Structure 1
Amino acid sequence: MAGKRYKVSSPDELQKAATIAVAGDEMVIANGNYTNWQVVINTSGTAEKPIIIRAESPGQVIFSGDVNKPVFQLTGSYTELTGLTFTGCNVFKANGGFLIELKNSKYCRVTDCTFAKNLAKDQFMPIVVLSGKGEHNRIDHCNFTSNIDNQEVQVKITKDEIPTYSLIDHNVFRDKDKVNWKVFNGGECVQIGQDPVLLGTRYAYTTVRDNRFIHCNGEPEVISNKSSGNNYIHNYFEDCEGELVMRGGHDCLIDSNTFKGGTGGIRINGTHHTITNNVLEDLPTGIRLMYGMAKGKTEIGFYIAASDCLIENNRISKTDTGILIGDSKNADWTGKFDTNKYPSRTVQDVAPFNITLVDNVIIDTKNSVVHNEQ
C-alpha cells in the first residue's frame, strides 16, 4: 500500500507535512524558484519504506540566494532528499549556512541533486555536511559543478562527535577553479575530518567510491583525509590540480582508483595505509610518501611520517617519478601554523619507514622509484 503524498511549495508547508509524515510517505516540492528556506526535518522512515522529499520534476525545483542556516537539515532516519537543484547560493559560516546538513541522522540519503555555481563567502565552508553522531548516511548520484571558494562534501569530526559509515558514491565533481583564499586552502571536493593533528586518530569508516573528479583545481587536496579507517575505491581523477591526500589519519584503503593527467596522484602521511590496484598516468609523481614531524599513532605532529604502508599492484606510467619515498625532507614550517593550537615540532625530519612495495608496474618514467629517506 502506497504512502500519502503531500504537495508543498513553502518551508512552512514542508515543515508541517514533516511533522505528520510516516514511513512510506512522500513530500513533493512544487516546481519553482525558491529562496530563504530553513527547514529541519526529523522524520523517521524504515529501510523498506523511507520517507521521500523530492522535486516535482528533477532539476525544476531550484534554490538560490543567501544562505545563513541549513536550507535542509535532516536529523531523523531513513529520509531521502532527491532531485533538488542549488545554484547561485551564497553560503555564510556564522550560523552554518550549509545547503544540506545531515546532523545526527541515520540511514538518510541525498541523491540526484545538483549543486552548481554556489559561492562560499567564508573560508573552509562546505555546502553538504555530515555531522554529529550520524550513521550510515549516503550522498550519491549528485552533480557538483563550478562551485566557488568552497568545500563540496564534508564529514565533520569533532572531539566528541564522529559520523560513521558514511557513503559518498557515484557523484560527479567538475570544473572547480582555484579558491581565492589565503594560501589556496579550503577548496577540497571531499574532506573527511578537519584536524589531522589532534583528531586524526578518530575512526570515521567513511567510504568514498565510484566518483568522478574532472578539472578539480580548488586546492592541492582534491580529497583530504584527516581521520582513520576510511576507504577510497574506484574513483576517477582527470586533469586535476591536486591529489588524493592522506593528510592525517591511519589505516585507510586506497584501491582501484584512476588518475589521468594533472599535478599529482596519491600523497601519503600516516601509518598502515594500503595502496593497491591504482592506475596513475601522465603525472609529475604517481605516489608520494612523506616525511613528518612525528611517527606512529600516538606521537603528535603537524605531519605524521608515512610508515608501515603497503604499495601493491599499482600501474604507473608516463610520470617523471613513479613512487617517491621521502618527500618534503626537512621542510620547515616554523611560523606557518599555530603551535599552541597544534602542539608540534615544526620541521619534517622523520623519514618514511617500513614501506612495502610489491608487484607495481612502472613504465615510461624518468625515475621508477626514488628513495629520499636516507
Structure 2
Amino acid sequence: MKRALIPVTAVLLLGMAPVADAAPVTSLSALQSAIDRAQPGERVVLAAGRYEAKQPIRISRKSGVTIAAASVGGAEIYGASGFTFDSSERVTLEGFRFTHTATLSVPANSHHIRLSRNVFQLRSEAGKHWVNVDGDDVEVDRNTFTGKSTQGVYLSIFGPSSGMAQRTHVHRNYFHNHSFSGSNGGESIRLGVSSKQRFSARAVIENNLFEKANGDPEAISVKSSDNVVRNNTIRDSKGQITLRHGNRTRVEGNIMLGGASGIRFYGNDHVIVNNVVNGSTGNGITVGSGTVIDDTSSTGNDRPDRVLVAFNTVSGTATAIAGENRTYGPDSCVISNNVLTGSGQLVRQTQFSKFRWEGNVLWGGTPGNIPSGGYRQVDPKVSGELRRPAADSPVLNASVGSYPAVELDLDGQRRDDRKDVGADERGGQRVPLTSADVGPGAPAE
C-alpha cells in the first residue's frame, strides 16, 4: 500500500526524498480500488484514455485525497455514470473530461470538495443539470463548461433541505456555447432557488468568462442572499447578471460586452457598483418591480428596496437604466455617479418612490425621466472597450456624495477621496478576461 504523503516542507527539512505518486491506473475498476485504498495526502491518477462508466465511481468517506487524470483532459469518462461523493471531505477531482450522462453532484454530507481543471461536456437529457452543489465549502475552479443545447443548468448551487450550500467559491471557469432556445431554465450558474431566497449562501462568483451564454436570459441567476458576484466577463451572450431572489448581494467590477442586456435586480439592500456594460442591444441596468413585497419563498418578483446602483459605466445601449411596471414599484433606491451614454431614452422608469439620484453623467441620448437634479448632461470623454475616461474628462474627481461602500474601482485600485464618476478611477490596466485566463489551462493564482 502506498504510504501517506508527508508535506513537502517536512520532507525537505528531514532530508528525505518525496514519496512518488503511484503509477497511473488503466481501468475504472483499478481506479475504484485505488480510491478505496487511498489515504490522506495521496494522489490517485488515471491514465489517458476513454473509459465507459456503467456504474458510479464512488468516493466514499475519504479525506485529503486527490483523484486526477494523468494529463489535463487526457482521461475521458463517458457512459451512464460518473463520480459520486458520499461523506467525503477535502477531496479534489482534477483534470478529467466528462461526457457521461449523470449529473456530477456534491451532496450535503460532503464538504470542502474541489472540482478543478475539468472539461464538462455531458450528454445529459433535457432538464438535467451538469454539476450540482449541496455541500458546504465547495470550490469550482478552472473548468470548462461547453456545448449544452438543452434545458438545464451548467452549475447549480443548491444545498440541504434546511438551507443553502455555504461558501461556494466559483472562479476562473469558462462557460460557453449554451444554445438552448427556450425562454427559461438554461442558466450558466444558478445560485439558489425561489424557495431558498431568504437563506444566506455567502458564495463568491468571480473571475469567470461567459461567452455565448444563450441558454437563458440569466447567465448568473442569484436566488439566495449575501453573495458576491465580481470581476466576471460576459461577452456576446443573451444571459445577464440577475438578482432574481434574495437580499444583500454585491455585484461589482463585472464587464459585460455586447449581448442582449446587462444587470437586472429584485430584492433588498444590494450593492451594484463599478460594473461596465458596453454595447448591449437591450437595457444596461434594469431596476425590477414587484408582484410582492419582502418575499421569502414564492416565485414572484420581490420589489427592490434600498439598492445602491453607483459608479457604473453603461455605454452604447438605447436605454441605460430601465424600469418595469408591476404592482409594487422599487422603493428608496440610490442611483448615483454613473456614466450613462447611448442613443435613446437613457433613463426609462415610471415607478420611482423615494429614490435618490445624484452625480450621474448622461450623454448621447435624451435624459428620459431622470429627475433634473440627478445628472449633468456633458460628454464624459470615455473610450475603448471599457469606456475609460480621458485625461481631460469631466468625470474626473466629479462624484457627488459620500459612498464609503465604494472604496475601489473597476481595476481594484483605491479611489481618491473625490472619486471619479463611473466604473473607472483613471489609471487602471485591467482588460476583459479571455479564454487564456480561464478553464483547465488557466494559470495558478
Letter in 1 for 2:136: E
Matched, 1:108 2:120: no
1:41 aligns with 2:59: yes
| Larger gyration radius, structure 1 or structure 2 | 2
**Match in the other structure for 1:226:** 223
Q: TM-score, normalised by structure 2?
A: 0.70
After superposition, where does 1:68-217 map in structure 2 within 5 Å? 70-73=82-85, 75-87=87-99, 89=100, 91=101, 97-101=102-106, 103-116=108-121, 118-123=122-127, 125-131=128-134, 134-149=135-150, 150-179=152-181, 183-194=182-193, 196=194, 198-217=195-214
User: How big is the shift at 1:42?
Assistant: 2.9
Alignment match, 2:394: none
Preserved contact between residue 322 and residue 365 of structure 1 (Cα < 8 Å): no
Distance in 2, matches of 1:3 and 1:79, equals 19
How far apart, CA to CA, are the structure 2 residues paired with 1:349 and 1:38?
49
Shift, 1:20, TM fit: 2.7
- Output the CA distance in 1 between the equivalents of 2:72 and 2:84: 17
**Per-residue deviation, 1:355:** 0.9
Give distance in 2, aligned partners of 1:301 and 1:144: 27
Distance 1:122 1:3, change over 3 A: farther
RMSD, matched Cα: 2.0
User: 4+ residue stretches of structure 1 with deviation over 4 A?
Assistant: 297-301
Distance 1:299 1:166, change over 3 A: closer
Mapped pair 1:57 → 2:75:
no
Within the alignment, does 1:28 sit opposite 2:45 as a pair?
A: yes
Match of 2:284, as an amino acid?
Answer: G
Contact 1:3 1:26 in 2 (8 A): no
Give the percent of matched residue pairs that are identical in Structure 1 and Structure 2: 25
AA at the equivalent of 2:168: S
Q: What letter is aligned with 1:9?
A: T
Which moved further from structure 2: 153-162 or 236-245? 153-162
The answer for unaligned runs of 5 or more in structure 1 is: 92-96, 330-347
Task: Give the CA deviation at 1:159.
Answer: 3.4
Task: Quote how far apart the aligned CAs of 1:44 are.
Answer: 4.2
- Supply the AA of the counterpart residue of 2:275: N
- In structure 1, C-alpha distance between the alignment counterparts of 2:179 and 2:299, rounded to whole Å: 31
Larger strand proportion, structure 1 or 2? Answer: 1
1:361 and 2:339 correspond: yes
Tell me, in whole angstroms, the C-alpha distance in 2 between the residues paired with 1:300 and 1:173: 29
Which residue in 2 is equivalent to 1:262?
Answer: 259
3-state SS of 2:78 partner: strand
Q: How many residues align?
A: 332
Question: Tell me, which stretches of 5 or more residues in structure 2 are unaligned?
Answer: 1-5, 7-17, 353-445
**Retained in 2: the 8 A contact 1:21–1:43?**
no
- With over 3 angstroms needed to count, the CA separation of the structure-2 counterparts of 1:216 and 1:298, relative to structure 1, is closer
